[in-house]
Amino acid sequence: MALKLYDTASRTKRDFVPQDAGRVTLYVCGPTVYAPAHVGNFRPEVVFDVLFRVLRHRYGEDQVLFARNFTDVDDKINAAAAREGVDISVISQRFTKIYLDDAAALNVLPKTFEPTATGHMDHIVAMIERLVADGFAYAEQGHVLFSVKAYEAYGGFSRRPLEDMLAGARVEVAPYKRDPGDFVLWKPAKPGEPSWPSPFGEGRPGWHIECSAMIESQLGETIDIHGGGVDLVFPHHENEIAQSACVHGGKALANYWLHNGFLSMNDEKMSKSEGNIVTVHEMLARGIKGESVRYALLSGQYRAPLDWDNLLLERALKSLDRLYGVLRRLGGVEAASGAEPGAVLTALHDDLNTPKALAALFEIAGRANKAGDKDAQSAAKGELLAAGSLLGLLQEDPDAWFGLDSVDPDERAEIDALIEARAEARKAKDFARADEIRDTLTAKGVQMEDSPEGSIWRLSRG
C-alpha cells in the first residue's frame, strides 16, 4: 500500500518514497519557548506525531528519525528574562518543560532529537560563514543578510511573485539591506542582550538559519519530510530552502513538505497577538483529558482549518467514552497479539485522513461489541488497540479512564451486577424495573449514559 502525502512544493498528493527505507528523516519546526503554548501550536505536534507513528509502523521504530527544535533565543524570551531579572535559559527551560509535559499529556511520542538554537550556535555561525564566503550573504553594520537575488529560485516554493514579497518589506527598508527582500542571518546584540561571538561581531542568529543549521547537523543535507504550520510557508520555509540549497550546492532541503492548517476560534485565527487563545496547560489544569484534546485535534483533516470550541471537545470526550466503554466491557478478554489496524491504517495512508480513520475505529469498536465468541472478541479487541496506538488514542486503562481504578472491588462488583440487571430489564422491556435500578445506581453516585455501544458508567466527580 502506497503512503500518499500532499506535498506543498509540488501542490500534489504524491506517493512517499524515502531516500533510504532504513533511515527515514522528518523535521518539524518547533515552538519559541517564552510562554505556555496554545492549543493551535499543538496541532502540528499531534498531526506529525500521527505521521511519525505511521512511518514507524511502515519502516520500523528505529528506522525513523524525527527532529523538532526549540527556539530558545528570541526577542520575546529576552524580554521575559529581563522582566524577571534572570538568564534567558531560566525562561526557555521553564517553558520547554511545560511544553514537553503538555505534549506527553496529548500522547505525543518523544522525538529522536530535540535540538535548541543555543545548543547549535557554532554550527549556525559556520553555516553563515559558508554563505558569506560563497557570495550568498553579506555582512553590513554588524548584520549578516541573505541576498535573495543571489538565489534564482527564491520565491518558487511559496509561489509568490518577488514583487508581492517585497511589497510589505518595502514600507520600511532597513539601511543595512541591499535589497528589501534580504533577510537576517545574524544580528548584533543590543546592550544587555545575550550574545554569542562570531566573525561578524557579537550577536545572535535570525530565526530561519536556526532550522537550516539544525537540520544539517541532526539529519543531513536533504531530508525526507519537512513539516510545520501553513503560516510558515512564507517566509520561514522559503528562507530555509534558500539557505540550505545555497550551502549544499543546490540540493533540495526536503523531498516532501507537509503543512497543517491553522486552528481558529469563532472563525478567527487563534494567535497570541489576537488574544483569542486557550492553552493546553490551562485545559489540563481544569481536568480536561489530554487524550480528548488530541482526539479533537484529529477530528478534522490536517490541511483544513479547524474551528476550536467547547462542543468539539465535548464530542471528543463522548467519542472516547464510547470507545473506552467497549474496552471496559471486554476487560476479561485477552487482546489478540499482532493484530493489524486494517482500515485505520488504510485511511492514514491517504494523506493522514484522520476523520476517516476515526470512523474506522468506531467500525472496529462496533464489531468488538457484537462479537459473539471469545475468539472474535479477542481479534476485534486486538485490532481496536492496534488502531488506537496508530492514532495515539486508547492508551489508558479503561477503568482509569472512567475514574474507577480506585473503587473498592466489592462495590465495583455490586455496581456491575446492577448494570447487568438493568440491561436485562431493558431487554425484557420492563422499563419500570430498569428505571428503578437506574435510581439505585444514581444514589450510589453512578452516572450512566446509553450509547450505540451499550451503557457507559462512571462515578460522578465531585
Residues marked as binding for Zn(2+)? 29, 211, 236, 240
CB of 234 to Zn ion, least distance (A): 12
Strand pairing report for 4-7 and 12-15? antiparallel
* Alpha-carbon distances of 460 from 162, 416, 441, rounded to whole Å: 60, 16, 11
Residue nearer to Zn ion on the CB measure, 29 or 330: 29
- Written as nine digits, the cell of 20 is 533510504
Binding site for Zn ion (CB under 5 A): 29, 211
* Closest among 55, 73, 75, 80 to 65, alpha carbons compared: 55
List, in sequence order, every residue forming a beta bridge with 311; answer none if it has no partner. none
Q: Which residues of 414-441 are buried (b: 16+ CB within 10 A; e: fewer)?
A: ebeebbeebeebbeeeeeeebeebbeeb
Residue nearer to Zn ion on the CB measure, 31 or 392: 31
CB of 232 to Zn ion, least distance (A): 6
CB of 208 to Zn ion, least distance (A): 7
> Distance between CA atoms of 81 and 419, rounded to whole angstroms?
57
Residue nearer to Zn ion on the CB measure, 227 or 290: 227
CB of 260 to Zn ion, least distance (A): 14
> Distance between CA atoms of 79 and 68, rounded to whole angstroms?
24
CB of 211 to Zn ion, least distance (A): 3
Q: Is 234 exposed, middle or buried (0-12, 13-18, 19+ CB in 10 A)?
A: middle
Contact partners, residue 439, CB within 8 Å, separation at least 6: none
Residue nearer to Zn ion on the CB measure, 31 or 203: 31
CB of 218 to Zn ion, least distance (A): 12
| Contact predicate 448/441, CB 8 Å | yes
Radius of gyration of the chain from Cα atoms? 26
* Closest among 447, 445, 448, 424 to 434, alpha carbons compared: 424
Residue nearer to Zn ion on the CB measure, 33 or 211: 211
* Closest among 5, 28, 243, 256 to 130, alpha carbons compared: 243
> Distance between CA atoms of 63 and 221, rounded to whole angstroms?
18
Residue nearer to Zn ion on the CB measure, 211 or 347: 211
Residue ranges of the annotated binding site are 29, 211, 236, 240, 272
Residue nearer to Zn ion on the CB measure, 241 or 365: 241
Residue nearer to Zn ion on the CB measure, 51 or 394: 51
Residue ranges of the annotated binding site for ATP are 272
* Closest among 113, 92, 73 to 210, alpha carbons compared: 73
CB of 212 to Zn ion, least distance (A): 8
CB of 29 to Zn ion, least distance (A): 3
